[in-house]
Structure 1
Amino acid sequence: MAYPLHVAFIWHQHQPLYKSCRSGQYLLPWVRLHGTKDYLDLIMVLAKYPRLHQTVNLVPSLILQIQDYVNGVALDPYLTAALTPVEQLTDQQRWFIIEHFFDANHRTMIDPHPRYNELYQQRQDKGATWCWQNWTLADYGDLLAWHNLAWIDPFFWQEDEIAQWFDQGKNFSLSDRQRIIAKQRHILSQILPQHRQMQDNGQIEVITTPYTHPILPLLADTDAGRVAVPQMTLPADRFQYPDDIDRHLRRSLHLYQQTFGRKPRGLWPSEQSVSPGILPKVAHHGFEWLCSDEAVLGWTTQTFFHRDERGTVQDPQHLYQPYGLKTNEGDMAIVFRDHRLSDLIGFTYSSMAPDVAAQDLIGHLEGIKIKLLSQQEDGGTALEKPWLVTIALDGENCWEFYQQDGLPFLESLYQRLSDRPEFELVTVSEYLQRFEVREQLPSDRLHSGSWIDGSFTTWIGDPVKNKAWDYLNAARQTLARHPEATEKANPAAWQALLAAEGSDWFWWFGEGHSSNQDAMFDQLFREHLAALYQALNEPIPDDLEKPLESHEVKETHPPQGYIHPIIDGKGDEQDWNFAGRITVGGARGTMHRQSLAQRLWYGVDHLNFYLRLDFQGTDLDAVKRMSGLHFFWYYPEQVLYNSPIPLAELPDQAPLNYLYHHHLKVNFLQQQVSLSQAIANYQWEDRQQGIQFCFDKCLELAIPWADLHVTPDWGLRLLGILTQDHCYREHLPEDQLLLLTAP
């Protein structure tokens, strides 16, 4: 029998509890804004293509907050400001508006709207203080309106009332803003009913997550962190409360049944985190399947998913099928997502033309099918077994970076998939109903890990993250000392605990991730814990009144996510927001001549690796009169030709006396860039290249991975050198090589 290639999209829709358990106030607006922009339109677009079926995960903490906004009982500071007459805005509110009402990707959500862009450019070019001193009441009124209008999804722009606001453009009154907020609430009110209807019609499957999105393996035992990282430094006190897993799952099931009139079949374990210890509890509550990441499968089976230069998995039969898990509480299936395909949608396709990106994804699916066919014994042209490619990712945050919130990309992709019978989009439960699971995984040997590197280092092990676990453990122990405070007798205490157990707080603590809301996430975590003590009539520890860490912007840090900057030499702050950065200027001290460079930025996506160099002062003409800038790198785990640095007056010291594989030269004076590669006998050979570069306010470079002929997951070490009159002047960074990895 011939089979199509089955594809399961799973969209993960999640927001943490922004409602403080202590004050009852919402501190951040992201449920309301993402609810207006991302949750409803995603399935409404799908509804236009009835042949395509997908799975959507709605996290309980998101559902609860949507219901609060729909019922009119949620009020956040952004909403309060928008509904305040501009003449009554306090000084504090005006500063808050100037600082936060441009919280959006400016290229896709601000620049397309002339009035919004005008205000944004004033803030960027003239500064917040100038805005404070010169903005009129009308300026504030328009900014309040546009911040909310920009978060209305383009799917709804053709509606008469919304189109009228876009045509109006400026001079928005309080009445206008009230009607805009009413439109937001109307869109929010359709999210849950539309999901229920499309699930009842069979086009989507809605699944759930533990109640407040906790890392279940770490609730069971924080020692699970040492499975992937044996030397991990753990919190001072071991957290072991496996019964809390049951509480999260019970509440999820109850809310789901209230909302959708049935039981869920699938579970998205928070952060796709699994361990042997959680499986019996998941099975006990009746879940039939759960999903995780290919890294977890790889660790479990001791398989590394090698990919070719195109990114196609070399042994696809291991990844593209569900596996069975047997527990003493029942059997389940587990699917593992293709990490690369998921990340392409989440982080890279937004930088490509929609049709090109859609065709690229189709090309990857074609490559998977060809690879599967090549491993069939009969050499036929049809698949002899039903395979399942799982693409699972965040369904909300990525669209902010796409043209028109991803609408052109999704319509182009869905049309192509609808026209190709060799691909069949299914829900996970549909696939499991039709086909038997062919292989089992030993449940007791399932790897304990998450979708990030197959480990839990994003949530534990860092000193600040560990401090947060210690705070949580102390609060949990306090609750355990109050046996009278049952979930029924003292629901406030348990609600506060479950809120604090959510994964999001630990995500932002310490190293690894940062945003301009870090201080607010810190505050929310501590307020949830304070509410627990308050509900038990226990004194609130003094530590909970102080932030866990300083939230000042760090001058030097590694990359925090994928980037895809526009190479225009402007150094746009949002383009490079998640890039790694190293401060160079002044690092050499008084014994060295002053560095011309000030800061080096670096990062990657699936298309390029990116470099940016900021220079000291404003005399960039002096910089351009230099001979140039050179970057050298090698691949430490690969057996390749490497050659010495071909520059004069080079000190004989590490890392200048290392051998390198690639050499990128930027000639400032001639405005040229060239690429060469090491060959035999320690020589260099020029290579064709499609490198983008621009030098205006700073130097920006985009080096295509395709020019380097590397395969995914290759690590590289990078060194920069500035030259004067074709001779070595200085290298950067001074005391280390930069480490990057091809996605």
Structure 2
Amino acid sequence: MSDKPLRLVLCWHMHQPEYRDTQTGEFKLPWTYLHVIKDYVDMAAHLEAEPLAKAVVNFAPILLEQIEDYSNQVNSFLQDRIGIKDPLLAALVEPGVSANPEHRLKLLHDCRKANRERQIDRYPAFRKLTEMAEWIQLHHDAINYVNAQFLTDIVVWYHLVWMGETVKLTDSRVQRLIEKGGGFSLHDRIEILEIIRDLLSKVIYRYKSLARKGRIELSVTPYAHPIMPLMLDLNSAREAMPDIQMPMLVEYPGGAERVRWHLHKGVQTFRHFFGFEPKGCWPSEGSISEATLKVLSEFGFSWTASGGNVLHNSLRASDPTAPGSVHHPFRLDSTSINCFFRDDGLSDLIGFEYSKWHADDAVADLIQHLENIADVATAGSVVSIIMDGENAWEYFPRNGYHFLSALYQRLASHPRIELTTFSECIEQNLPVMPLRKLVAGSWVYGTFSTWIGDADKNYGWDMLGDVKKAFDKVVSHGTLAEHHLALAEQQLAVCEGSDWFWWFGDYNPGEAVSDFEQQYRLNLTNLYRLLGEEPPSYLALSFTQGSGAPAMGGAMRRGNAIF
């Protein structure tokens, strides 16, 4: 047992894929702005409220760009009435309601995409509107008899329930509109858009300010969130899963060059928004391999991180009898980068269990686990809790407000636990454990099974391989103008993002699978058109359909598989 406090790093990963149709600029799905007004502002507010708290906050660069785009669009609408290119957000302030029955039905459908227990049932007025919308969805002809006020009220309420808890507690405009309950006017709708404008325009600065004050460390992910080990070597998937079924694609063409492109573009984008270069990189989905760590070292990152099962697999491969704890930084031979590993058990408790507990009990339980670790920890031990920063909280009462408030307060004042950051751990010269071998994998189960191996995921890789070969051929001919080449490179990056593969396959719910596979096919189609090539006919056809009902709607995974 060490006589010094146990170091604890809370690392929150903020990430949304590219939801825009890059040819039209239209947002096909609204999750970026909805998570801004609910989760990203709340997470900043909790850190601002506790002066002694510290955390690492990781941003995907492509998310930062979308936040900026939304902010600019909302400002342009409020100042010059230039249209907003997100159908749901635009519906909030349209002076009239579409007479098209299909548009009306889609609006009602979209305004039901919220957590039933925590968002819909919490507000009787919205619950009643939702129940009416559900009945109308079962009796489509009834949409012709729905008046504009009903549609207005359900759109307004949808945006109110997606507001962060810290916003609801501090913004008198939100409080007044919730109290009003219905009969919302165009003035009310414009007021909500002004609230959204304020949240969008300030959220990135709030994190930048916290970093400037030393309250958080900001880190980065490769630009469009690709799975770097698979781009470098598809067969790295076999290291943790020797019997995995692989795509027809043998290797991703020019993968090493593309990985470096994403890292360079990611750092460049990060610097644009925050004014400095990050010291750390949370690789997309904590996915690492020996080749990946070498590339990250080339870029000068001092730390990276992954899942606990990656470490366990690696230690077993090096020496099956060697003990190993995730509560230390490690360094792979021949690299200069420190690698921290996620405590999967503690992280999954927050992500999947504590939402069902009373907040005080949940925090007490987590602290008891940390105290138990401190009882046996050696000098220099550090616990890494690494989590999705947005998707867990809708399952907690009041968006996790009571849990997060109590968590930061109790940890900040705990005599045996020290909140810190990965860079501070390195600066304090903590003992770094040697790692002779690294078995490639991600934070999910320690494998890449979430992104490759399933028949539909493999087909997605084959389609990506096809468009990359078309890209390489056109580039080699030198027929693309410089501007069009830059657009094509950007579009290729979007296609290389990990999220499309996450959702492919039967495990996931059907509607989410449909949304993401349509977006993926659109992304590939847009790239072919930028290249001046005819898109393959298979891109007109759906290729994957989900039928599952995974925990938390499939937006999150546990670090350890449950059988």
Query: Common fold, TM-score beyond 0.5?
Result: yes
Q: Deviation of residue 124 (structure 1)?
A: 4.5
The letter for the 2-side match of 1:296 is V
1:237 matched to 2:249: yes
Q: How does 1:287-686 map to 2 (within 5 A)?
A: 287-302=301-316, 318-327=325-334, 331-372=336-377, 385-442=379-436, 445-481=437-473, 482-483=475-476, 484=478, 485=480, 490-514=485-509, 516-549=511-544, 551=545, 554=547, 557=548, 560-561=550-551
The letter for the 2-side match of 1:56 is V
Q: Deviation of residue 4 (structure 1)?
A: 0.2
Looking at structure 2, the residues matched to 125 and 246 of structure 1 have their Cα atoms a distance apart, in angstroms, of 51
Secondary structure at 2:276 match in 1: coil
Q: Deviation of residue 303 (structure 1)?
A: 8.3
Q: Deviation of residue 100 (structure 1)?
A: 1.7
User: Corresponding residue for 1:105?
Assistant: 115
Looking at structure 1, the residues matched to 278 and 135 of structure 2 have their Cα atoms a distance apart, in angstroms, of 51
Q: Deviation of residue 178 (structure 1)?
A: 2.0
The letter for the 1-side match of 2:111 is F
Looking at structure 1, the residues matched to 97 and 296 of structure 2 have their Cα atoms a distance apart, in angstroms, of 54
Q: Tell me the alpha carbon deviations over residues 519-546 of structure 1, each in whole angstroms, 9 at most, x when there is no partner.
A: 2211211111112111111111111122
Q: Tell me the alpha carbon deviations over residues 164-185 of structure 1, each in whole angstroms, 9 at most, x when there is no partner.
A: 1111110012221122122112
1:119 matched to 2:129: yes
The letter for the 2-side match of 1:162 is V
User: Corresponding residue for 2:20?
Assistant: 19
Range that drifts further, 5-14 or 486-495: 486-495
Looking at structure 2, the residues matched to 292 and 244 of structure 1 have their Cα atoms a distance apart, in angstroms, of 21
Secondary structure at 1:224 match in 2: helix
Structure 1 residues not aligned, in runs of 5+ = 305-314, 373-383, 563-576, 580-604, 607-711, 716-739
The letter for the 1-side match of 2:425 is Y
* Structure-2 change in CA distance of 1:458 and 1:13 (3 Å): same
Looking at structure 2, the residues matched to 487 and 201 of structure 1 have their Cα atoms a distance apart, in angstroms, of 41
Q: Tell me the alpha carbon deviations over residues 612-667 of structure 1, each in whole angstroms, 9 at most, x when there is no partner.
A: xxxxxxxxxxxxxxxxxxxxxxxxxxxxxxxxxxxxxxxxxxxxxxxxxxxxxxxx
* Structure-2 change in CA distance of 1:539 and 1:88 (3 Å): closer
Q: Deviation of residue 578 (structure 1)?
A: 6.5
Looking at structure 2, the residues matched to 207 and 269 of structure 1 have their Cα atoms a distance apart, in angstroms, of 10
The letter for the 2-side match of 1:511 is D
Q: How does 1:79-94 map to 2 (within 5 A)?
A: 79-94=89-104
* Structure-2 change in CA distance of 1:66 and 1:89 (3 Å): farther
Relative contact order higher in (CA < 8 Å, ≥ 6 apart)? 2
Q: Tell me the alpha carbon deviations over residues 162-216 of structure 1, each in whole angstroms, 9 at most, x when there is no partner.
A: 1111111100122211221221121011111111111010000010001111100
The letter for the 2-side match of 1:438 is V
* Structure-2 change in CA distance of 1:87 and 1:264 (3 Å): closer
Looking at structure 2, the residues matched to 190 and 259 of structure 1 have their Cα atoms a distance apart, in angstroms, of 12
User: Corresponding residue for 1:180?
Assistant: 192
* Structure-2 change in CA distance of 1:357 and 1:125 (3 Å): farther
Alignment check: 8 A CA contact 1:21 1:495 kept: no
Looking at structure 2, the residues matched to 95 and 32 of structure 1 have their Cα atoms a distance apart, in angstroms, of 22
Please state which structure has a larger fraction of its residues in strand.
1
Residues matched between the structures, number: 542
Q: Deviation of residue 127 (structure 1)?
A: 5.2
Looking at structure 2, the residues matched to 223 and 148 of structure 1 have their Cα atoms a distance apart, in angstroms, of 45
Looking at structure 1, the residues matched to 316 and 331 of structure 2 have their Cα atoms a distance apart, in angstroms, of 17
Secondary structure at 1:318 match in 2: coil
After the TM superposition, which segments of 4 or more aligned residues of structure 1 sit over 4 Å from their partners?
A: 124-127, 485-489
Q: How does 1:653-732 map to 2 (within 5 A)?
A: none
Please state which structure has a larger fraction of its residues in helix.
2
The letter for the 1-side match of 2:160 is L
User: Corresponding residue for 1:57?
Assistant: 58
User: Corresponding residue for 2:274?
Assistant: 260
Per the normalisation by structure 2, the TM-score is 0.91
Alignment check: 8 A CA contact 1:316 1:368 kept: no
Looking at structure 1, the residues matched to 271 and 525 of structure 2 have their Cα atoms a distance apart, in angstroms, of 31
Looking at structure 1, the residues matched to 465 and 190 of structure 2 have their Cα atoms a distance apart, in angstroms, of 44
Range that drifts further, 36-45 or 115-124: 115-124
Alignment check: 8 A CA contact 1:462 1:511 kept: no
Alignment check: 8 A CA contact 2:228 2:259 kept: yes
User: Corresponding residue for 1:624?
Assistant: none
Secondary structure at 2:251 match in 1: coil
* Structure-2 change in CA distance of 1:412 and 1:90 (3 Å): same
Looking at structure 1, the residues matched to 338 and 92 of structure 2 have their Cα atoms a distance apart, in angstroms, of 47
Give the alignment partner of residue 207 of structure 2, picking from 183, 195, 199.
195
The letter for the 2-side match of 1:76 is D
User: Corresponding residue for 1:701?
Assistant: none
1:135 matched to 2:146: yes
Alignment check: 8 A CA contact 1:296 1:449 kept: yes
User: Corresponding residue for 2:88?
Assistant: 78
* Structure-2 change in CA distance of 1:316 and 1:115 (3 Å): farther
1:208 matched to 2:209: no
Secondary structure at 1:528 match in 2: helix
Alignment check: 8 A CA contact 2:504 2:517 kept: yes
Alignment check: 8 A CA contact 2:307 2:344 kept: yes
* Structure-2 change in CA distance of 1:486 and 1:426 (3 Å): farther
Report % sequence identity. 33
Q: Deviation of residue 317 (structure 1)?
A: 6.3
What value does the CA root-mean-square deviation take over the aligned residues?
2.4
Alignment check: 8 A CA contact 1:21 1:527 kept: no
Alignment check: 8 A CA contact 2:5 2:374 kept: no
Q: Tell me the alpha carbon deviations over residues 335-362 of structure 1, each in whole angstroms, 9 at most, x when there is no partner.
A: 0010011111111111111111111111
Range that drifts further, 72-81 or 277-286: 72-81
Larger Cα-atom Rg: 1
Give the alignment partner of residue 220 of structure 1, picking from 215, 232, 235.
232
The letter for the 2-side match of 1:348 is E
1:165 matched to 2:181: no
